[in-house]
Amino acid sequence: MVELEGTVPIFAVRRENGTVPLSVHNRRLTDMKHRRTILFAAVAAAGLAAIAWAVFAKPGGNGAAAAAGPKLTLENIPFNGQRAYGYLKQLCEIGPRPSGSPGMAKQQKLLTEHFKQHGGQVELQRFRVRDPRDGQWVPMANVIVRWRPEAKDRILLCAHYDTLPFPMLDPEDPLGRFVGANDNASGVALLMELAHDFNKLDLKYGVDFVMLDGEEYIFRRGDRMFIGSEWFARQYAKQQLKYRYRWGVLLDMIGATDLRLPQERNSIWWRDTRPLVAQIWATAARLGVREFLHKKGDEIDDDHVILHAVGRIPCIDVIQPMSEYPPWHTRGDTPDKCSPLSLAKVGWVIREWLKTVK
Q: What is the pLDDT of residue 239?
A: 81
What are the pLDDT digits (tens) for 299-324?
999 999 999 999 999 999 999 999 99
What are the pLDDT digits (tens) for 109-148?
999 999 999 999 999 999 999 999 999 999 999 999 999 9
Give the number of other CB atoms < 10 A from CB of residue 356.
17
Q: Are 87 and 192 in contact (CB under 8 A)?
A: yes
Give the number of other CB atoms < 10 A from CB of residue 130.
15
Does position 166 have pLDDT exceeding 70, yes or no?
Answer: yes
- Give me the residues paired with residue 249 across strands: 157, 316
Q: What is the pLDDT of residue 242?
A: 86
Rounded-to-integer distance, Cα 225 and Cα 202, Å: 36
Name the region of 273 (left: φ>0; alpha: ψ -120 to 50; beta: rest).
alpha
Rounded-to-integer distance, Cα 210 and Cα 306, Å: 14
Q: How many CA atoms lie within 13 A of 345 on its CB side?
A: 27
- Give me the residues paired with residue 139 across strands: 128
Could you tell me the CA-to-CA distances from 322 to 174, 317, 326 in Å, in that order? 17, 13, 7
Q: What is the pLDDT of residue 70?
A: 66
For 39-73, the DSSP string reads ---HHHHHHHHHHHHHHH-S--STTPPPP--SS--
Contacts of 282 (CB under 8 A, 6+ apart): 52, 55, 56
Give the number of other CB atoms < 10 A from CB of residue 212.
31
Does position 36 have pLDDT exceeding 60, yes or no?
Answer: no
Rounded-to-integer distance, Cα 269 and Cα 357, Å: 21
Does position 38 have pLDDT exceeding 50, yes or no?
Answer: no
Give the number of other CB atoms < 10 A from CB of residue 121.
13
Domains in the chain, start-ordered, CATH in brackets? 2-356 (3.40.630.10)
Does position 60 have pLDDT exceeding 50, yes or no?
Answer: no
What are the pLDDT digits (tens) for 79-108?
999 999 999 999 999 999 999 999 999 999
Please state the pTM of the whole predicted model.
Answer: 0.84
Q: What is the pLDDT of residue 9?
A: 37
- Burial label for 183, CB within 10 Å (0-12, 13-18, 19+), is buried
Could you tell me the CA-to-CA distances from 333 to 187, 321, 328 in Å, in that order? 14, 14, 6
Backbone φ and ψ for 179, nearest 5 degrees, come out as: -105, -10
